[in-house]
Structure 1
Amino acid sequence: MSVFNNNFKTNKLFNWVAVIFLIYSMLVAVSTVGSGFKIFSGGAAGAEQIFEFVTNPFIALILGTLATALVQSSSTVTAVIVGLVAGGLPLSIAIPMIMGANIGTTITNTIVSIGHVRDKAEFKRAFSAATVHDFFNLLAVIIFLPLELMFGMLEKIATATAHFFVDGANVSMKEFNFMKAMTKPGVNFISELVSVVPGKMVGIVMVITGVLIILFSVTFLGKVLKKVLVGRAKNILHNTIGKGPVTGVASGALMTVMVQSSSTSTSLMIPLAGSGMFTTRQIYPFTLGANIGTTITALLAATAISGSAAEAALTIALVHFLFNFLAVVVIYGIPVLREIPLRLAEHLAEVGTNNKLLALGYVLGTFFVIPGLIMIGVR
């Protein structure tokens, strides 16, 4: 028994060391993306020229959706966007991309629901619970993207908040550069490895390397955290869903922070919906909490950026949080809007149950075919 306990403690310690290493790797990678993009673009002016084809905010939205659907991780995409903003990517492009990432991240639990396709009743319940997340995020974009384009509401609030933290009267995070000191050795190591690449192409290689490390870090961070926390996370899931919307939202946010993946937390609920343990209406608030919880990754990534780019990086991370938080307050807080995702999800589940090919077509069309065709058409 003592040998078993010792092995358990050793494995647990190893897992927590892995968590620390993976978080550090992600922070180094975000700084690397920012540095590489800055080298290649020559700063903000150069970045605007590179992304001229994305001056249309709707194309930026689609780019964020498509990128997230392809890598199946909004955490990865938002961390990369934070790094790109630090390297000069304009906020006017980054904000729609962040919104698009919210749409793209819902594909994972929708794919999980298709695993119930053999049982008609199970599939109907699971598909409805999965797609309510899709329709909520689509509705959030329909409401907040036009408001952002007309008034710049999210950017203004986020900029003011970031300015307070970065350039506040009492404490300036620009001077508080312990994070830069921590990540600099890692960034320098990567920079040295790719220094053989000529000219500005070294910047591109640094961006690609940073993106790959972010993808690796976020993927394995989720897996390791699931090993050490998923038992507790499941207890949260079972004990709080069905106890009211506030509890559901809070538990969704907490669980997503614990496992560092909204895809993981929302996917865990699909089998429960399929089995009939919970209804779509009961699970709905939990998915909204997952939207809020997933913003912790971008906020964490922003801490890796220091100096003149710190404020812009923190601003886009705060935009991500404000977008998801205000979407929950507005859409779930107004009864008429609250019912729209539920009714659409239930109707789509009814149609998809009677025609499985339509359900598959919805997944492929919404997340890949339509965004891809629009991108090709624009280019």
Structure 2
Amino acid sequence: MAGSGARPTPPRTALGHARPWSEARSLGPWQRPCPAAGRTTVLIQSSTTTTAIAVTAVGSGALPIEGAIPIILGANVGTTVTTSLVALTFIRDRTKFRRALGASTVHDFYNWLALLIFFPIELIWHPLKHISGALTHALYGTDWLPNPSHFNFIRAATRPVEHGVIQATSHISTTLGPLFTIVIGAALILVAVR
């Protein structure tokens, strides 16, 4: 088949329908963010921080919603390590350890089952993407959500920090400046979450 010039058959979806080659090649990025987000959550012990970074990246346009979904699912799986570590702190008292491990196991199974159920469904039919898009379009521009321009107390509270970061990174090159800004932003998020 290598020299015959015949094109190989395209991959199939779970229902057996032929999937376009462009879509089949795009599945690769899905395989990286989920485990990476899980490892990040394990390292920083905060799925909230991992999720906040993903939401910020989507809001700024740096990441499409399709890339944020596996990150958020991976962050939830990463929290399973945290609960297991907390359960291990009760290892000296057998009764407490069994109760803590039981609660940890419930949390672990919930998050792993959510990943195992929603991830394949999202890969095939994209319901999370469609639901989030529908909610965004339905709520944006309506009176259901408050207009942030009328009360922007967060902007007023964070303005001094923003100016400090800008001044601290303004003398750095255009290549390293944004990188340092991201590192400082991630550090500030960690400080705020802790």
Instruction: Give distance in 1, aligned partners of 2:101 and 2:89.
Output: 10
Instruction: Give distance in 2, aligned partners of 1:147 and 1:184.
Output: 42
What secondary structure is seen at the aligned counterpart in 1 of 2:142? coil
Match of 2:32 in 1: 59
Q: Check 1:127–1:174 CA distance in 2 against 1; reply closer, same or farther (3 A cut).
A: closer
1:145 is displaced (CA, Å) by: 0.9
1:180 is displaced (CA, Å) by: 7.4
Could you state the TM-score of these two structures normalised by the residue count of structure 1?
0.40
Match of 1:215 in 2: 190
What secondary structure is seen at the aligned counterpart in 2 of 1:56? helix
Match of 1:99 in 2: 73
Partners of 1:85 and 1:91 within 8 A in 2: yes
Match of 1:108 in 2: 82
What is the alpha-carbon root mean square deviation over aligned residues? 2.7
Instruction: Show the 5 A alignment for 1:334-349.
Output: none
1:201 is displaced (CA, Å) by: 1.8
Q: 1:194 aligns with which of 169, 174, 186?
A: 169
Match of 1:291 in 2: none
Q: Check 1:106–1:139 CA distance in 2 against 1; reply closer, same or farther (3 A cut).
A: same
Q: 2:92 aligns with which of 118, 121, 138?
A: 118
The answer as to 2:55 corresponding to 1:82 is: yes
Instruction: Give distance in 1, aligned partners of 2:78 and 2:38.
Output: 4
Match of 2:180 in 1: 205
Bigger RCO (CA 8 Å, 6+ sep): 1
Q: Quick check: which one's helix share is greater? A: 1
Tell me the number of residue pairs that the alignment of Structure 1 and Structure 2 aligns.
167
1:171 is displaced (CA, Å) by: 7.5
Instruction: Give distance in 2, aligned partners of 1:203 and 1:218.
Output: 22
What secondary structure is seen at the aligned counterpart in 1 of 2:32? helix
Instruction: Give distance in 1, aligned partners of 2:38 and 2:162.
Output: 28
Instruction: Give distance in 2, aligned partners of 1:54 and 1:215.
Output: 31
Match of 2:152 in 1: 178
Instruction: Give distance in 1, aligned partners of 2:73 and 2:127.
Output: 14
Instruction: Show the 5 A alignment for 1:252-331.
Output: none
The answer as to 2:134 corresponding to 1:155 is: no
Q: Check 1:192–1:96 CA distance in 2 against 1; reply closer, same or farther (3 A cut).
A: same
1:101 is displaced (CA, Å) by: 0.6
Q: Check 1:54–1:75 CA distance in 2 against 1; reply closer, same or farther (3 A cut).
A: farther
Query: Is 157-166 or 170-179 further displaced after alignment?
Result: 170-179
1:126 is displaced (CA, Å) by: 2.2
Instruction: Give distance in 2, aligned partners of 1:176 and 1:164.
Output: 21
1:176 is displaced (CA, Å) by: 5.4
Instruction: Give distance in 1, aligned partners of 2:82 and 2:133.
Output: 32
Instruction: Give distance in 2, aligned partners of 1:54 and 1:209.
Output: 32
1:166 is displaced (CA, Å) by: 2.7
1:125 is displaced (CA, Å) by: 3.0
Instruction: Give distance in 2, aligned partners of 1:155 and 1:204.
Output: 29
Match of 1:29 in 2: none
Query: Is 113-122 or 72-81 further displaced after alignment?
Result: 113-122
Structure 1 gaps, min length 5:
1-52, 220-379
Could you state the TM-score of these two structures normalised by the residue count of structure 2?
0.74
1:136 is displaced (CA, Å) by: 1.0
Instruction: Give distance in 2, aligned partners of 1:98 and 1:186.
Output: 27
Match of 1:71 in 2: 44
Instruction: Give distance in 1, aligned partners of 2:102 and 2:155.
Output: 48
Q: 1:136 aligns with which of 101, 110, 114?
A: 110
1:74 is displaced (CA, Å) by: 0.9
Partners of 1:54 and 1:60 within 8 A in 2: no
Partners of 1:54 and 1:93 within 8 A in 2: no
Give the counterpart letter for 1:70 in structure 2: L
Percent identity of paired positions between Structure 1 and Structure 2: 32
